[in-house]
Chains A and B, each alone.
Chain A
Amino acid sequence: MGLKFCTYPIGQDVLTLEFQGLTPLFLRQIMSGLRAHFGQHLDILAVNGSLTLFEKDISNSQTAIEVFLSGFHLSETDKPHSWELAVHYNGADLDALSLQLGLSTQQIIELHQSQTYTIEGFGFLPGFFYASSLPKSLHLARKNTPALRVPPRSVAIAGEQTGVYPVETSGGWHVLGEIAFDLFDHRSQPPMLMNVGDELRFKSVTKQELHEWSQAWMQVSKRKQLLSCSR
């Protein structure tokens, strides 16, 4: 069956491809396919089931891209990579969340770990990913007034998604805890291990264990292995 999509340019150098009902993993396959066909350097942003391509005069290639997509075959056997992040659940917003959600902090922590999330895309800040789907009982809109200072490496939730703040910033998501290291490392190639379509789980660790994780992270060549899910 062919892909269902529509395309529209936004100015001369930006082209958006909107798909109907595609999983992030399928979007990732299309991203790889586009890069293989139109150039590995092609800058592609995945947001909410759409892909946006940035390239000088890309709108001139709209027809060629539509032809390419019409003939594109999705692979049903492609398996997503699975990651596991160790979290020390000591977040500044746990108590407030507990009141707002009517759950104990322990229940919140357990619910957050109960799910396998899917990385839908990146945005906001370098390495900030949007992962779905948060258990329904944890759904809560962003804060009305964003916190002025969210510490780096904060694990947070908002709406039906979870993510990790890569650097200190202001932000409106509810902070549950912290991870041990900077996931986005511009000195590494690629700067981010995780990709669109990947699966992600969280597991609770103590402050001491968090420290051990940060030590292990120093070994750059072992990072992928460190975070890969063994299951």
Chain B
Amino acid sequence: MLEIIRAGLFDTIQDLGRFGFRSLGVAVSGAMHQKAFAEANARLGNHPNDAALEIGQIGGVYRFHTPTFFTLSGAPKEARLNGLALSSAQVHKAKADDELFIGRSIEGVYTYLAIKGGFQTDCILNSRSMHPSLFEHPRLQKGQQLAYESHGQFEANSLPETPSGGAEEEYVLEAQRGPEFHFLLHPNLLTQLKFKVADFNRMGYRLLPSTHLKKSTKSIRSCAVFPGIVQLTPSGECIVLHRDAQVSGGYPRILVLSDESLDRLAACSRDQSVKLLLR
């Protein structure tokens, strides 16, 4: 068991996501930064879909109840095991009663705490990814115990470190035209403008400014949406839908971001500058 002694600001369990139930209105979910998530599982020799703890901008305190191996990936944060600083990108051994402290992000947002064999938490509709509409609590709470299988011996995979989730000066998001791209009155402005991340959560990212992107007055009926879709709201704001996005929406879909760009966006915190690049 991993016990949550003090929960982080937004701790959830995530895997690759929940597929096959969109027809009933079920969102996909899954790790916000898929590349960082995959890297953590690879280091431990885990299955790619093994569930990890996704930690938002500020981490918490966690206690291991049985021996195991763990690793941290994604956004670098201050990390201490029983008070001793941990180096990133390595597999660490945890003994019973070891206490792990995770601080605030130094760069980026999402950090993954992956454990040998993955967390054995509730599996709903073939996925352990916590989505607010399917789980009693939208995020992990103090006192919760996350099950895992104990491991005493393990040969760590020596993988080259590929930094992910770190900050860049300006993030370039690659996109394709969406079905309602023609709703834009001045499409070339999209790639000229410098956007800033206004606010975000696991469902989506709001980009500003909005003033230059007046859409035509046409409205549309609800249509299918998914992570990567960029919606244009009536006030002219761009909303990039992320992993927890609903399956349908009523705003024009002007762009579709690539998977790599969704990861890149997941590394952006508030006020981060981003540019759009049309492929």
* Interface bin, chain A: 35 or more
CB distance from B43 to the nearest CB of A (A): 25
At the interface, yes or no: B256 with Cβ under 8 Å from chain A?
Answer: yes
> Given contacts A16-B179, A47-B248, A48-B223, are A126 and B228 in contact (CB under 8 A)?
no
A-B interface pairs (CB < 8 A), number: 87
Contact among B176, B178, B222 for A47, CB-based, below 8 A: B222
- From B16-24, B71-79, B103-111, B195-203, give the one contacting chain A: B16-24
The number of chain B residues with a CB under 8 A from chain A is 28
Can you name the residue of chain A whose Cβ is closest to the Cβ of B229? A10
Q: How far is the CA of A54 from the CA of B221 in the complex (A)?
A: 20
Q: Are A184 and B24 in contact (CB under 8 A)?
A: yes
Can you name the residue of chain A whose Cβ is closest to the Cβ of B249? A123
> Which residues does chain B contribute within 8 Å of A191, judged by CB atoms?
21, 24, 125
Q: Are B226 and A14 in contact (CB under 8 A)?
A: yes
Q: Which of B153-189 contact A (CB under 8 A)?
A: 176, 178-179
> Given contacts A11-B256, A50-B223, A186-B125, are A45 and B133 in contact (CB under 8 A)?
no
Q: How far is the CA of A50 from the CA of B224 in the complex (A)?
A: 9
> Which residues does chain A contribute within 8 Å of B256, judged by CB atoms?
10-11
Q: Which of B232-279 contact A (CB under 8 A)?
A: 246-248, 253, 256, 258
Q: Are B124 and A123 in contact (CB under 8 A)?
A: no
> Which residues does chain B contribute within 8 Å of A184, judged by CB atoms?
24
At the interface, yes or no: A177 with Cβ under 8 Å from chain B?
Answer: no
Q: Which of A154-179 contact B (CB under 8 A)?
A: 166-167, 169
Can you name the residue of chain A whose Cβ is closest to the Cβ of B228? A11
Q: Are A122 and B223 in contact (CB under 8 A)?
A: no
Q: How far is the CA of A72 from the CA of B221 in the complex (A)?
A: 26
* Chain A positions near chain B (C-beta within 8 angstroms): 8, 10-11, 14, 16, 31, 41, 43-48, 50, 52, 54, 121-130, 166-167, 169, 184, 186, 190-192, 196
